[in-house]
Structures are given as structure tokens and as C-alpha cells.
Structure 1
């Protein structure tokens, strides 16, 4: 098991720019931006009034209404993405349910349900909390709902590693496969943190863009005028299998999970280590696991949140591993289109890497109009670019100094 190739056979995506992998991808390369005014609640009294929401989203279109009512939005998004990934893979769960696992990644679990329930309780709108409250806010119940719906009985884990949780879910899935605990594992991420207390808290931390008058251009990674990230919401899922298992069942392989790594800055709770040392160490570990050199990477999907400190530190980290603009591969930050999907971001961005390999197109970094001299790599500004790539890296960097690097490559039997 230790050296067996691990392959991706199914993918699912729920994003502010499209539900379903194809819709997400077409919007991504078409330059669609999902950021707009917050409509989920009255944000007029808050310093930040913009986000990348799922618009016109009706969970009843994807699941029974009775089931949707038992789920926080982060669970709904993860559930839908997981269903798409399973269907896409063609895996028949019933015949081997105990050998199929789930790893769920999320940063803040059911925080929106907590906030709404507390508000109703304090205002007197309700005098008791219903029995569904606790299962709606616990992180692992997202994986439980997926397992119940699809009859999955293998190992199940939930990670709370902030914004790197999606990438870490994929790494943990790989570890389960390598250890022989499962033959196929769903790596899933889901996030919805749109509620006044979170928006207010992140605003006061000066983490969010305050470009309320121009939400479409608020998220501008690596641009000199960037002023913070934009909250997004959504879900992502990838089905990972051993190559042998996929071949035996006739599964269609989309890409290889070639490398993965996780490190911690050990520096600060919210700020990145200024030189990007932890992130660069993570990228090097992923390359070592993949048996690759920096020159083997053809594209990097950056964490690229649009924060002044974060984008600069990530640029330094990439340069320390790959060199300057001449030697480093092209880089783009797809959060410029989707906003920051937190725990779901690592997986939706890996999906973007797989799609880039399959379609020969690199998604752009939107709204990059005034280059920051401290961020001087090729960020594929504003327009998608055709390119022949075989290998791509996706970085996710989270609060607490969490770093995740995932490498995917073209599949060759």
C-alpha cells in the first residue's frame, strides 16, 4: 500500500459561481465573480457588507426538504458536493461499504445555526431550543449525514484545521488508503460562516475587504490595492482511491494525487510567518513525497486570499521554493472569483487544478490591475490562459499557522 498510486475518480463542487463541477469550472475560466452585497441578513450596521453567497440556492432541489431542515448550510453544501462526487465516480457503495471512508474538513462547523439560535433565544422569539440544534452544529454530523444517505460504513474523521481543512482532508484520506484502512475515501469540505458575529469579528481584526461600494472588485489577490479577503461559502468533494481498486471496478481516473503535506508555522494565531517559511517547508515536503523537483510543477493554485500580509508571505514562500518569475510556474488565486470558502476552499481549488490539467486552461486571478512590487510572480491576471500542464500544486494556509500543499498530476496508466 505504501507506494501504490492514489487516484481521483470523482469530484463535486458547490460554489458561489456555480453548483456542480462543470458550472463552477466554466464560470472560473469565464471570469465570473460571485461577490456581492450580503443578503442573508441585514448587514447595514456592519463595516463589511459584502460576501460571496450562494445565490438562488434551494437545498430542496438536491435533497428532501425534511432532510435539509436538519442541516446547517455547511452540511448541505458538503452533502451535495459529496453526492456529486460519488455519482461522478460510478462507485457502487453497497458492495463494499465497510471499505469506503469519509474525511470531512470545516473551519467553523455550524456557526450560523449557533448565531441564529442565540439571537432568537435572546430576543424572546423562542423560549426553547429544539432537539435538532446540537446535531446541526457539530462538525462530524456532516460526514454522518453523507454516510447515512449513501450507506457508507468505513472510517470517518472530521478535521477543524481552519482554512487548510479541505487540503488536510485529502491528505488524511490518502493516509487512510496508505494504511490499508480503506480502499476508497471521500474527502469533503463544507463552510458557511455568514452571520453578524463572524463578519463583525473578522472586520474588527481587519481581515476583510471593506470595498462595500464595489463588491465585484473587492477580492483582488496580489494587487497593490488589496485590503482583505471576502467571505465565501460552499462545499467540495473528491473521491480518492488506490489505483488497483479503481482499475478493478472500471473507474475512470481523472488525476493522480502525487503529493501532499501539512506543516505549522508555529508563529502566530492569525498572522502568517512573514517570510513564508512554514508554507515553503510544506511545499517542499509535498514535492519530496511526490518524488518531484520544483521544475516539475506547471501551475500553482495559490491560497491567495487578498490580504496584504498573506499574499506577500505566500509569494515569498513560492519564490523560496521555485525561484523568481523566470523560473517559477504561473500562479493564480481563484478566491478572486469565489471568495474564501474556508474549509471547502482546499478541495474546490484542487478540483480547479484537476480541471486545468484535463482541459489545458489555467484559471485567472481576477481584479489584478495594479501589481504589487512585493508580489512579482506570473499571476495569470484577469484572463484565463491556455497551457499544457501535467502537474499542479494547490496551497491552503489557515489561521493557527496551518499549511497544506497538494500536488495532482495527469494520469498515465
Structure 2
């Protein structure tokens, strides 16, 4: 079977622009959460978020690109530029028919769509809207696939190109699709990852309605508390991560630096509830077991787990049960952490951001901590790496994700040469 490796990483996350600032932030365990600045959040229950300090012009996007692209597409473009530069891949000398794009997003161009609706409807006062008040690029905002199109056009990628939208597992699933296309021989290089920019009034109102986000507005930096007994919900975030995923022999022939190999990927649906999770974690556990089988690993081989760790009680308990089900006693020995405690929950983007973290953990031998984990929930009794980073010698890292709609996904990265 053809094998796939990661040769480039680009990250845009709260608290820093680029791969290295992201890594420093999560290893230091310093939450990048504050009161929302892009609109007045005072009418809402949850008024805080993990925002990206993003200057599109300073990062090289032209005025035309900034006008045409929604914020989430701009994020993806900046990350893809960084990932391709990191990979050393010369697209001018590549077979463009063998280069594809797999991008994940949960909510697409939420910001642009809401802004345009507010203008067209005169703040919701008009049911029949006048299209003449809308900007000319509304179609690109309406169709999430425009993100993949933008990247394909930017890099002249003529291979498979699509947007994967599976809620909060979109980032893992988009990279998983890239893996499968390479395994199937449909591409040699995939620009893969996810992006979301959901911090808008409509998104905040929706999560307020189901009380999923935290009301701890008086303590923004301490508000995201995965696995802690005092948690009150997740902190909304934004961001993106893009990986260059490459067929192993293709990477070897050009002498590429390899971060890791993608050795296992599996997904399940729980068929249970649109937003609820079964406490036994059976479907997520099955996805983990399937991914282990693909990688030809046993539970004891896993040296680090990047948890979904959203900071809601039902997720944290469901996830803890899934690890016990899938890994047995090893679940109590392996270091686990949630970087959402630092960068918040960027919906579809977070899975790709967490996979970027896994690649860096394997390369650098350090597990980022779970910030704000002071009093563990007794039902979450695993090693969730509280407060302080830890050195490890991990050869295989697992990342798990859960998404609204019942999506459950797992992916395994392995150090170069560690795969069976």
C-alpha cells in the first residue's frame, strides 16, 4: 500500500501567527482567550473567545483577495503558504495533475454571510431583500467549496479538490481523505487541513441557546477548563492548520524532511443524537481501535493522545470512557492533553490544528499541557497532563475528535520509520 507522510506544516491560531508561535503558546500553556473584540458581545451569555490577531495585508494577501475571500478562506491561504514553504516542494517542477486539495470547515463563510444578510435585510427588518445591496462575491461565501477552489487555483493544483464538512471532526476527516486519495493512487501530494472563523453574533447566539459555551466572562484566561471539575462549557475559537501530505516515495525522491507518517485513520457516526453523546464512548472507541489496526499497533505503542477535550461535561466523560474502552489499562499510563485549553474550540479547524500539534510533539519530544486543569473531574481519571508541559519519547501519537451530528474520528501519526 502507498504510504503518506507529512512534509510541511502551517498554523494560524489564537495567540500567534505561524507554526512556531503556535507551538510556543501551547507548550507554555498560556490561554489566548479574551473578551470578544470583533463585535459587541454584551447581549450574549458567553462574551469571550480565542481570537486570532490577523492582519491579512501584512501576511501578503492582496486587496482583491481580501475582498473576495471570507476570513476562513484567508486563514487557509496563509496556512497553506506556510506549509508549502516549509515542505520545500517546488510546484513549478511538480506534476500539477497529481497535486490535490482537501480542506475541512464546519461553518464556512459564517462571517460574510451574516454581514451580507444584515445589510440586505436592514438588520432583519425586511423579509424581501434587495440583491443590489449585496457584494459581488456572495456566491463564493455561500458555497463552502470555494475554499478548496481558491487553494487549487492559487497553486495550480489539478488533482482532487474538495471541502469536507463533518462538524468538529472536519479537520481530521479532511486529512483522512488526503491519506486515502494518496493510498488509492489518485494523488502524490495533498494540501490538507481545515479552517474556520466562526466568531460572529449568530454563532455565539446558537451556542448560547444550548448552553454549550462557558459563561465565565470575568476570567477569560481561566475559562477553558477541559477535564476540570469546575468547567462550565467550551470557549469558542477560530484558526486554521494546513499540512502538506505526500506519498512517501515521492517525498524521498526529492529529499524532503518528513515530520511523521499518517499510519491510521478511522471515522464513525453514533446515530444517537444531533448534539448529545453516549457516555460509554463506544463509537469513538471503535474508531480508535480501527485506526490502531490500520497502523498495526497495540495500545501500548501510543505515546501521546491529543484529546478532543472541549470542556463540556458530556464530551470529557464520553472521551475518557472511549480511551478506557479502546486502550484498556494503557489509557491510565499514556499522557493526554487538550490544547483547546489554550486556543479554544475552532470547530472544524481544531482537528487539523491538533494534528499539527501531534506532528510537532513527535518531532520535539514535548507534550503540551492541559491549561487550567486544577481539580480533575473524578469521572475523568486519566493522565491529562495538568498545567505543565512534559518531555516524552513518543513514537506514535493519537488524536481523537467528536462533532455535532454524531461524528467520531481518530487519527494516528508515527515518527518516520516507526511504522510496521
On whether the aligned pair clears a TM of 0.5, the verdict is yes
Paired position in structure 2 for 1:404: 409
CA distance in 1, matches of 2:327, 2:182: 30
Q: 2:88 aligns with which of 87, 90, 110?
A: 90
**Preserved contact between residue 101 and residue 182 of structure 1 (Cα < 8 Å):** yes
Counterparts of residues 274-289 of structure 1 (less than 5 Å): 274-289=279-294
How far apart are residue 124 of structure 1 and its match?
Answer: 6.9
The 1:326–1:110 alpha-carbon spacing in structure 2 relative to 1, beyond 3 Å, is closer
For 2:20 and 2:404, how far apart are their aligned partners in 1? 30
Task: Find 2:57's aligned residue among 55, 60, 64.
Answer: 60
* Secondary structure at 1:323 match in 2: helix
Query: Of the candidates 266, 273, 276, which is equivalent to residue 268 of structure 1?
Result: 273
Do residues 130 (structure 1) and 138 (structure 2) align? no
Q: Is the 8 A contact 2:2 2:182 kept in 1?
A: no
3-state SS in 1 of match to 2:234: coil
Helix, strand or coil: the match of 1:173? helix
Deviation at 1:324, TM superposition (A): 4.5
* Separation (CA, whole Å) in 2 of partners of 1:121 and 1:5: 49
1:158 pairs with 2:157: no
Distance 2:123 2:258 in 1: 54
Indicate the larger mover: 135-144 or 40-49.
Answer: 135-144
Matched with 1:168 is 173
Aligned to 2:399: 394
Unaligned regions of 5+ residues in structure 2, if any? 125-129
**Are 1:51 and 1:230, in contact at CA under 8 Å, matched by a contact in 2?**
yes
Counterpart in 2 of 1:21?
19
2:40 equivalent to 1:36: no
| 1:49 paired to 2:47 | yes
Q: Is residue 322–residue 328 contact of structure 1 (8 Å, CA) maintained in 2?
A: no
1:139 positional shift: 1.0
Deviations 1:102-121, CA, capped at 9 Å, x for gaps: 00100011111111111122
Instruction: Name the SS for the 1:364 alignment partner.
Output: coil
1:382 aligns with 2:387: yes
Q: Distance in 2 between matches of 1:295 and 1:65?
A: 51
Give the aligned CA root-mean-square deviation in angstroms: 1.5
SS in 2 for 1:371: coil
SS in 1 for 2:370: coil
Equivalent position SS for 2:357:
helix
Alignment partner, residue 330 of structure 1: 335
Cα shift readout 1:13-33 (whole Å, capped 9, x = no counterpart):
000021111110011101221
Within 2, Cα distance between the matches of 1:65 and 1:25? Answer: 30
Contact (CA 8 Å) 1:11, 1:85: kept in 2 or not?
A: yes
Shift of 1:92: 1.5
Pair 1:106-2:111 in alignment: no
Partner Cα separation in structure 2 for residue 17 and residue 348 of structure 1: 13
TM-superposed CA distance for 1:4, in Å, is: 2.7
Equivalent-residue separation in structure 2 for 1:386 and 1:170 (angstroms): 27
Deviation at 1:346, TM superposition (A): 0.9
Q: Give the unaligned 5+ runs of structure 1.
A: none
How far apart are residue 385 of structure 1 and its match?
0.6
2: CA distance, partners of 1:343 / 1:169: 10
Q: Distance in 2 between matches of 1:302 and 1:326?
A: 12
TM-score by length of 1: 0.97
- Contact 1:329–1:378 (Cα < 8 Å) also in 2: yes
CA deviation digits over 1:364-393, x for unaligned, max 9? 000001111000000000110111111100
* Equivalence for 2:205: 200
- Tell me, in whole angstroms, the C-alpha distance in 2 between the residues paired with 1:124 and 1:352: 40
C-alpha separation in 1, matches of 2:123 and 2:393: 60
Whole-angstrom CA distance in 2 between matches of 1:98 and 1:368 = 47
Post-superposition offset of 1:327: 4.3
**C-alpha contact (below 8 Å) 1:13/1:236 kept by paired residues:** yes
Q: How many residues align?
A: 410
Mapped to 1, the partners of 2:45 and 2:75 lie a distance apart of 27
| Counterpart for residue 316 of structure 1 | 321
**Aligned equivalents of 2:223, 2:123: Cα separation in 1:** 37
Taking the aligned partners of 2:120 and 2:162, their CA distance within structure 1 comes to 32
User: For 1:230-309, what aligned pairs fall within 5 Å after superposition?
Assistant: 230-309=235-314
Match of 1:4 in 2: 2
Looking at structure 1, the residues matched to 340 and 289 of structure 2 have their Cα atoms a distance apart, in angstroms, of 23
Shift of 1:145: 1.1
- Following the alignment from structure 2 to structure 1, what is the Cα–Cα distance between the partners of residues 351 and 332? 25
Q: Distance in 2 between matches of 1:8 and 1:98?
A: 20
